[in-house]
A and B are shown apart, each in its own frame.
Chain A
Amino acid sequence: MSAASSPFPHSLRLPPPWGRRVDRNCPVRFSFEGKTYAGFAGDTIASALIADGRYLLSRSFKYHRARGPLTLAGQDANTLVQLPEEANVLADVSPIAEGLSVMGQNYSGSLDHDRDAILGHFSRFMPVGFYYRAFFKPRGVWKYWEPFIRKKAGLGALDLSFTPTYHDKAYLFADTAVIGSGPAGLSAAIAAADAGARVLVVEQEPELGGSLHWARFGLEGKSAEEARDLITRVQRRPNIRVLTNAVCNAWFADNYLPIVSGNRLYKVRAKTCVMAAGAFEQPVIFRNNDLPGIMLASAAQRLMRLYGVRPGKRAVVLTGHDAGCLAALDLLEAGVEVAAVADMRAESPDTLPLLAALKAKNVRVFSGTTVFEALPGKDRDGNPRVVGVDLRRILGAADGLERGAVEARGETIECDTLLMSAGYMPAWQLPCQAGGKLSYHDATARFSISGLPDILTLAGSANGYFSLSNILRDGERAGRQAALRALGKAADTEIYAASAYETEAPVNFPWPIFPHPQGKEFVDFDEDLQIRDIVNAVRCGYRDIQLVKRFSTVGMGPLQGRQSALPAARLVAEASGRSVSETGVTTARPPFMPEKLAHVAGRMFSPLRESAMRRRHEEAGAQWLMAGTWRRPAYYGDPARRDALIQEEARAVRERVGLIDVSTLGGLEIRGPDAVELLDRLYTFSFAKLPVGRSRYALMLAEDGVIMDDGVCCRLGEQHFYVTATTSGVDRVWRAMTKWNAQWRLDADIANVTSAWAAVNLAGPKSREVLARAGVNIELSGSAFPYLGVQTGVVAGISARLMRVGFVGELGYEIHVPSRYGEALWDALMKAGAEFGIRPFGVETQRLLRLEKGHIIIGQDTDGMTHPAEVGMEWALGRKKPFFVGKRSVEILEAQAPQRKLVGFVLPKDAPRKALEGQLILDDTGNITGAITSLGDSVALGQTIGLAWCAPSQGKVGALLPIRCEEAPGGRLLATVAATPFYDPQNLRQEV
């Protein structure tokens, strides 16, 4: 492409075949910081900006230093930018789109003129952990500093009006999952497929192939091209499934792999897994190593090969191994002037073929030399950029000096680009989540990973191989062994003995860390930490790597220490006189890449249970109340008239007849030879003698004697019971039943049939007449169907279970029908009741009615410590039984002096304030003795009544009960303890 035909005057674009990822026929315009830029489809924000000569993308966390791309692989925080709806977007992996508006973040003013950049000049006043040393004197002053410091922290800003978009989840299964599709992953996938496994390949980038698309594997640079044949082979295999643009974000137990792709989270179960996720190239630590224009060698190669963009015009390469030399060859090939190659290795260029080759191309080669300082200058827009390097010969141990020492003088070389490569750190995060241990080899200056579970295998550079033939071989080994294991076949590792691999030169330079008296040699780019910050953290006494992390925040930044883990480990080891193996690195927690909450949250289900009569309630104007996941009518009508409506509903029940939907009540069917035995052990009463056709109150305790649940136990047959439980308690009761049934090895069948039945309670003096009018095939007289009787029959043409119960204290029938007839039953009863003035009533009304009867509600009037004697329910204990759950505890408790008591009380009609549930009961000295659990305005009594906990000494009927009430005169309301039931104490109304 000639300059004249280029649409972009400043373009650093290279002609094809450079830029295999971009489509030059498809230009895309977007804006950055308000200025319009152009790129091609396939470009990332970063590649398109660099193509235009724009390196400054972000401001650093603490000193607001100018930062440009470092890895170009989404592995550093230098490229975090702000999109309108999204903060902290990685510009080096996020594609551009037409009209996309990109901004910088974490600056005041503009990205180019960030007023906070002045902070960089004050770094000496901000030593490591400085915030622990200041901002708290004089006492209380932190309150004023904190908001200021908070504003400076953080990076991008969330879009606070963002509404979640669609995200979902899918499960996938594989015999062998291969994470990473570079040469090792491709080779592993083919070997696994050959062995007969169903393979899943997961690739983070848009296409298969990984480094085959950008790396140079030898002097000639042809081998990668040949190996790309593997891509088509993988694509053609029917038993290999490929996911691209997909990140495996963690390793969870047993190869449970969360894979984020697009707007979907795949949850993968793989029998075995090959991690071929590569290694992180490491920066060299020297002064100003963070200037825009300085990047990893691999970043420049990606830039050129994937996006067809030259990093600059004149480059220096700093390396400690062959990869930097190969990158220099790439630069030359792309027409970039290579001003110098500084090789930290001491070996002479004559013994290193790549250096010799570079020399032959007239590149100045410096051995045993490093960049001591990158020289800051300005790019064409006046933004900071590297403009040269100060090269120094490395001294060190041999010269009797500390490691990292350099000669006093060196040579300055001008450049606009600096590539660096100090070696590699295997992608350790996922293997370490799987239990892998990192150990450091002093000879090769690198970490290796061991101790993995046998369902997980490493391959390729993650396993320490960097020559292409070794990588391919290692992938093949790993893929085959993983597949054999997944298929339950014997391993044949012997064919991949160490001798089968070629020998490789070490890739890691042992000490690529060069302190400068003026600092600014960044160890952690994310957190703006320099060498002295890490060293001083150790000197302050924070010697453990975890403490160094916590004190200095190294590795805590947005990308969690990809580049800082290795140098920090080396520095801590050196400063504390230990080995790097001893020091180790901090734990790498999930997720691997930052993941949107939306991905993990998925479609956001919110469970809701509704009764079969829902439509009728809605038509009647029900106001809803949540009971667990159930929605229940609280009362019917205008919320503005809430209290009056509840009173009206209550009056209807007391005077005429009311109908309440009790479908949410738990229902449990117990059948079998041991059904009675199970119930007798689980509930406090005895059911052995309960006749068929009768019901009895059922109270369940926990082993510590605490009331757990209650209900009614109906005997439908000799070996068949129907037990109700509370709405919120039934699942807990069912669990207890099934647990104990198994534990005791009883022969009882337990089914939770809650959802199978719809149920109503028809209550009030006219209920018998309403039921008769609705049509029922059983005799309803008090003698034929007495209180606590149970019948099965037909109501309004519907098969039903009928029980005479008395929760609200009136003549009443609980009628249970199969759920699908719930609405028909409701309609029939409402129709039959019309002439008697029937009225539906809600849960709030029921609560008031039962309060008048002094019935407690488990969970409202009891708490997690309540035992029967405290609430006057000793009568419900079958003391003659040899055993029931909680019996021993109850006996111990009853032998002790009682601690508290639940009592009924009434408030005087002229009480100065209304009381509220939850208000406290106090004693004369102001100690808390209890609290109000239930409260209501009794229709029958015309008075406010309630239940409350108090000290046993306060519980005498007629005694005054002080209620804490800040608004009342003297801070107290005085209630009077009253006997319960408040209403119809002889139960004359319900037992007719």
Chain B
Amino acid sequence: MPFALLRYGLSSDPVKTPDFPPPSSLKSSYDVVIVGGGGHGVAAAYYLAKRHGVTNVAVLEKGYLGGGNTARNTAVIRSNYLTPESVKFYIASVNLFRDLSNEFDFNIMYSERGQLTLAHSDATVRAFRQRCEVNRHLGGRTEMLDRQQIKELVPLLNLDTGHAPVLAGLWHIDGATARHDAVAWGYARGAVARGAEFHPLTEALDFVVEKNRVTAVKTNRGTVKCGAVVQAVAGSSSILMSKLGIRAPIHTYPLQAMVTQPVKPFLTPMVSSSALHCYVQQTGRGEVLIGGGSDPYPLYNARSTLDLKEGLLAHAVEMFPFLANAKLMRQWAGITDMTPDYSPIMGRSPIDNYYLDAGWGTYGFKATPICGKSMAELVASGGQIPEIIAPFSLERFSRFRQINEMGATAASH
């Protein structure tokens, strides 16, 4: 039995120090106000405090800690994108993820399961080979697998799906998962322990702008002055930006996922199919987690739909026929801010001290550490853009410098 549990068991009260203090009132002024208390927001607060000594920071969250897409995503961590810009960025994220449990002293259950993506057409094989090459060239662990190798890796997988049999696979050894809530909790815990404040049920309603600088944030709990603002509000990115007149090419779609009842482990890697727009993985609790593409039309509503579930589960059963007898337990949705190139927006905005962490579509969770770290660096330096996020600026859309990840994002997220 691990020593930590022995200590808990033998102590009179297992709750020695709470992870989070009770709620406090808002101060009148902060050096940095972070709007959005999901993984990204608290990660930025954490790195501001830890790496830059900036602790007069408030994270404002309209709901509860990590209750937006941090709570709803399916916790895929990977770096096998297409463009070198993205691959460098996500490899840096994967590297940070690996050490988080020990850095936090809080187990985020980082689990390197590996991710297998299936190609059912020669066009996809070609695209996968390119992704494989890019990933390897930049230091990631990825391989191309043929049918026989796939069979050995995931013997339960049906390789003759419908009329489009599996031709090859992209095997991303670095592919991992983690307890998504724990990532947000670990960051928030570390941030508040270093002096940052976390304010749930606190919604940023508007901004006071003077001389192209945000001087205060108006909230449902009063107005607070600020030295700088970071927005990290996945699902509401363009709504918040519009308060400052900032336009972004973001379209917002629901994204649904579902789990079965827990069953004994049968599947270790995360498996996704490019043609079936479906991915299947088994959580640590034993649930089979199934997800796919976004809803077909834009909407700000996290309702579940039957149509999407029907298509998705038919495809899941095609991949793993025995799942026909597994039982679905829960279906839910998140709200995703999609950009035209399926890449995020990070960096400066037209407002001098207002920083953007937006447009995270379906890939925000896996970027939590590196994005938080980079945003902290950006804010602490007063706007010096870290090289690793430079390609992801808002201006790239008007400058025709998009980072095209549509193909590498589709169903795998």
Contacting pair A589 B331 (CB below 8 A): yes
A887 CB → nearest B CB, Å:
14
Contact with A along B308-330 (1 / 0, CB 8 A): 01100110111001111111111
In this assembly, does B65 line the interface, its C-beta being within 8 Å of a C-beta of chain A?
Answer: yes
Q: Which of B107, B310, B314, B327 contacts A142 (CB 8 A)?
A: B107
* A597-B324 contact given A126-B5, A154-B262, A154-B285, CB 8 Å threshold: yes
Contacting pair A920 B134 (CB below 8 A): yes
In this assembly, does B266 line the interface, its C-beta being within 8 Å of a C-beta of chain A?
Answer: yes
In the complex, which residues of chain A have a beta carbon less than 8 angstroms from the beta carbon of B164? 626
* Contact residues, B258-311 vs A (CB, 8 A): 260-266, 284-286, 303-306, 309-310
A370 CB → nearest B CB, Å:
26
B8 CB → nearest A CB, Å:
5
Complexed CA–CA distance, A136 and B99 (Å): 10
Contact with B along A391-418 (1 / 0, CB 8 A): 0000000000000000000000000000
Q: Which of B125, B127, B156, B306 contacts A267 (CB 8 A)?
A: B306
Contacting pair B106 A132 (CB below 8 A): yes
Q: Which of A167, A607, A917, A966 contacts B126 (CB 8 A)?
A: A917
A151 CB → nearest B CB, Å:
6
Complexed CA–CA distance, A247 and B10 (Å): 48
In this assembly, does B203 line the interface, its C-beta being within 8 Å of a C-beta of chain A?
Answer: no
Contacting pair A920 B130 (CB below 8 A): yes
* A964-B133 contact given A154-B285, A560-B329, CB 8 Å threshold: yes
Complexed CA–CA distance, A893 and B399 (Å): 8
Q: Please count how many residues in chain B sit with their CB below 8 Å of the partner chain's CB atoms.
A: 98
Contact with B along A418-451 (1 / 0, CB 8 A): 0000000000000001000000000000000000
In the complex, which residues of chain A have a beta carbon less than 8 angstroms from the beta carbon of B309? 590, 600
Minimum CB distance partner of B286 in chain A: A154
Contacting pair A626 B286 (CB below 8 A): no
Contacting pair B330 A589 (CB below 8 A): yes
In this assembly, does A133 line the interface, its C-beta being within 8 Å of a C-beta of chain B?
Answer: yes
Complexed CA–CA distance, A917 and B182 (Å): 41
In this assembly, does A87 line the interface, its C-beta being within 8 Å of a C-beta of chain B?
Answer: yes
In the complex, which residues of chain A have a beta carbon less than 8 angstroms from the beta carbon of B219? none
* A154-B264 contact given A589-B332, A604-B317, A859-B123, CB 8 Å threshold: yes
In this assembly, does A139 line the interface, its C-beta being within 8 Å of a C-beta of chain B?
Answer: yes
In this assembly, does A594 line the interface, its C-beta being within 8 Å of a C-beta of chain B?
Answer: yes
In the complex, which residues of chain A have a beta carbon less than 8 angstroms from the beta carbon of B325? 85-87, 158-159, 162, 164, 596-598
Minimum CB distance partner of B155 in chain A: A160
Contacting pair A133 B4 (CB below 8 A): yes
Contacting pair B122 A625 (CB below 8 A): yes
Contact with A along B1-26 (1 / 0, CB 8 A): 11111101100001100111111000
In this assembly, does A595 line the interface, its C-beta being within 8 Å of a C-beta of chain B?
Answer: yes
Contacting pair B306 A134 (CB below 8 A): no
* Contact residues, B91-122 vs A (CB, 8 A): 99, 101-102, 106-107, 109-112, 120-122
Contacting pair A155 B8 (CB below 8 A): no
* A966-B263 contact given A158-B326, A865-B402, A916-B129, CB 8 Å threshold: no
Contacting pair B328 A591 (CB below 8 A): yes
A91 CB → nearest B CB, Å:
14
* A163-B321 contact given A146-B111, A919-B129, CB 8 Å threshold: yes
A573 CB → nearest B CB, Å:
15
In this assembly, does A705 line the interface, its C-beta being within 8 Å of a C-beta of chain B?
Answer: yes
Contacting pair A590 B400 (CB below 8 A): no
One of A32-40, A176-184, A535-543 contacting the partner: A535-543
* A124-B9 contact given A151-B264, A256-B306, CB 8 Å threshold: yes
Contacting pair B133 A920 (CB below 8 A): yes
In this assembly, does A135 line the interface, its C-beta being within 8 Å of a C-beta of chain B?
Answer: yes
A927 CB → nearest B CB, Å:
8
Contacting pair A600 B313 (CB below 8 A): yes
Contacting pair B123 A918 (CB below 8 A): no
* A136-B102 contact given A594-B328, A865-B404, A920-B130, CB 8 Å threshold: yes
* A918-B8 contact given A598-B324, A928-B137, CB 8 Å threshold: no
Contact with B along A127-140 (1 / 0, CB 8 A): 11011111111010
Q: Which of A128, A541, A546, A892 contacts B18 (CB 8 A)?
A: A541
Contacting pair B8 A127 (CB below 8 A): yes
Q: Which of A267, A547, A916 contacts B64 (CB 8 A)?
A: A547
Minimum CB distance partner of A934 in chain B: B126
In this assembly, does B383 line the interface, its C-beta being within 8 Å of a C-beta of chain A?
Answer: no
A322 CB → nearest B CB, Å:
34
Contacting pair A134 B107 (CB below 8 A): yes
Complexed CA–CA distance, A501 and B329 (Å): 38
Q: Which of A127, A130, A601 contacts B310 (CB 8 A)?
A: A601
In this assembly, does A8 line the interface, its C-beta being within 8 Å of a C-beta of chain B?
Answer: no
- Listed A/B pairs (28) with beta-carbon separation below 8 Å: A61-B262, A126-B5, A133-B5, A133-B106, A133-B107, A134-B107, A136-B102, A137-B3, A147-B265, A153-B265, A154-B286, A163-B324, A253-B305, A433-B303, A539-B15, A540-B15, A542-B20, A589-B332, A595-B328, A597-B327, A600-B313, A602-B310, A605-B314, A626-B164, A864-B341, A918-B127, A918-B130, A927-B84
8 further contact pairs, Cβ within 8 A, besides A250-B304, A541-B18, A597-B323? A134-B2, A136-B107, A151-B264, A154-B286, A158-B326, A164-B317, A536-B15, A604-B317
